[in-house]
Amino acid sequence: MSDMEEVLERQEREIRERRRRQAASKRAQRDLDQQLVMAVAMLDEENQSSRGSHEGSAPNVDRHRHSRGKNLMEDYFIPTSLNCAGVLGLLPEQKFTTIIRMLAYGASADQVDEIARMGKSTALESLVRFCDAVETLYTRDYLRRPTPRDLQRLLQKAEQRGFPGMIGSIECMHWQWKNCPTAWQGEYGNQKGQKSIILEAVASFDTWVWHVFFGVAGSQNNLNVLGQSPVFNDVLRGEAPKITYEVNNTVYQTGYYLADGIYPSWTTFVKSLSHPRTQKQNYLLHIKRVT
């Protein structure tokens, strides 16, 4: 009986030790991945700054960021281990195909394992690593609100185009939801009879989208989305930046957005005209469409 107890205890110790080693290995791999992402990002930043920035280009919008992201992702998913047959693991192209299919079509890991020839756990791990890498690479430029320097650049550009005090354009759009669950189809059905999810976004003249509010049911409209959106939370808290400009000998201290006619008549909105009659009204409609 004592021999059996010793065997069970030894097995338990071996199991605990194996789990400890696996956890330590995973932590080390995560740390290595994070260091790799940061090292590549810093190297790209140094190369970009050494080349200098062109006059008139947006300092916060990197026009070559897509190539940087491609190189980073390729480095991030390079197979580094050999299997029992001495062959390298899955190729980055296989993992990219799996990730894009899962994100674009809402497919589960079980649905793409046969196409990419990888296991469910590998597909899920690749998806998590991909999202972490995207967040690490693009957070500083895109997943944030404008800094005072960004805001000053937006205001200067808007004033050059004849709209002093304009921050950007706000609009809502419907994204069709093909695989909407049956129980939710009444809530997410829009006026065209399709199933959709609404996206609210604020964009500047250079297509920099610095505010997104996504996931509202398609049965709602721009006003309902605005009531739920956090876009004006800083204004309500009194933390909005002070913007001073003058129009027709009147001084204003609140920035505004170009919007459609459905939005309320607030000082933060300047709405376009459905049937412009004068040259000034035509210019306003043209700027709204371009912006």
Q: What is the pLDDT of residue 57?
A: 44
Q: Which residue has the higher pLDDT, 77 or 137?
A: 137
The whole-number pLDDT of residue 197 equals 93
Per-residue pLDDT tens over the stretch 243-280: 888 777 888 888 889 898 889 888 888 887 666 667 66
Query: How many helices, marked H, and strands, marked E, lie in the chain?
Result: 9, 7
- For CA atoms 262, 265, 268, 271, the dihedral sign is positive
* 56 within domain boundaries: yes
The conformation of residue 240, written as its DSSP 8-state character, comes to S
Both 23 and 105 in one domain: the answer is yes
Q: Does a structural domain hold residue 280? A: yes
User: Is residue 290 pLDDT above 50, yes or no?
Assistant: no
Q: Which of 86-95, 159-168, 274-283 has the lowest mean pLDDT?
A: 274-283
Both tokens of residue 32? 């290595």
Pick from 73, 103, 138: which residue ends a domain? 138
Is there a single domain that holds both residue 120 and residue 222? no
In this model, does residue 199 exceed pLDDT 90?
yes
Q: How far apart are CA 290 and CA 113, in angstroms?
A: 43
Backbone phi, then psi, for 282, in 5-degree steps?
-65, -40
Spell out the long-range contacts of 32-36 with Cβ–Cβ below 8 A and sequence spacing 24 or more. Answer: 33/76, 33/129, 33/132, 34/136, 36/75, 36/76
Are residue 238 and residue 261 in the same domain, yes or no? yes
- The yes-or-no verdict on residue 145 having pLDDT over 90 is no
Give, for 167, the enclosing helix (H) or strand (E).
Answer: strand 166-176
Instruction: Answer yes or no: do 158 and 123 share one domain.
Output: no
Are residues 53 and 164 located together in one domain of the fold?
A: no
Q: What is the torsional sign of CA 278, 283, 286, 288?
A: negative
On whether both 163 and 123 belong to a single domain, the answer is: no
Task: Assess if residue 257 is contained within a domain.
Answer: yes
Is the pLDDT reported for residue 225 higher than 90?
yes
**Type of residue found at 282:** N
Are residues 82 and 15 part of one domain? yes
Residue 287 reports pLDDT greater than 60: no
Residue 164 sits in the same domain as residue 266? yes
Task: Select from 111, 138, 165 the last residue of a domain.
Answer: 138
Percentage with pLDDT > 90 across the chain: 9
Answer whether residue 193 is part of any domain: yes
Beta partners for 246? Answer: 251
Domain boundary among 86, 107, 138: 138
Which tokens is 168 given?
């950007």
The CA-CA-CA angle for residues 206, 55, 165, to 5°, reads 50
For the chain, the straight-line distance linking the first and the last C-alpha, in angstroms and rounded, comes to: 81
266 assigned to some structural domain: yes
In a domain, 143, yes or no: no
Give 124's contacts (C-beta < 8 A, 6+ positions apart): 109
* Residue 228 clears pLDDT 50, i.e. is over it: yes
Q: Is residue 250 part of a domain?
A: yes
SS (H, E, C) 39-77: HHHHHHHHHHHHHCCCCCCCCCCCCCHHHHHHHHHHHHC
Confirm whether 189 is domain-assigned. Answer: yes
Supply 281's token pair: 């009204």
95 plus 200 within the same structural domain: no
Q: How many CB atoms lie within 10 A of CB 8?
A: 10
Same domain, 113 and 191: no
232, 193: one domain: yes
Question: Range of 155's domain?
Answer: 148-290
* Count of the separate structural domains present in the chain: 2
Residues 52, 122: one domain? yes
Query: 134 pLDDT exceeds 90?
Result: no
Task: Note the pLDDT of residue 50.
Answer: 52
| C-alpha to C-alpha distance for 142 and 190, rounded to whole angstroms | 29
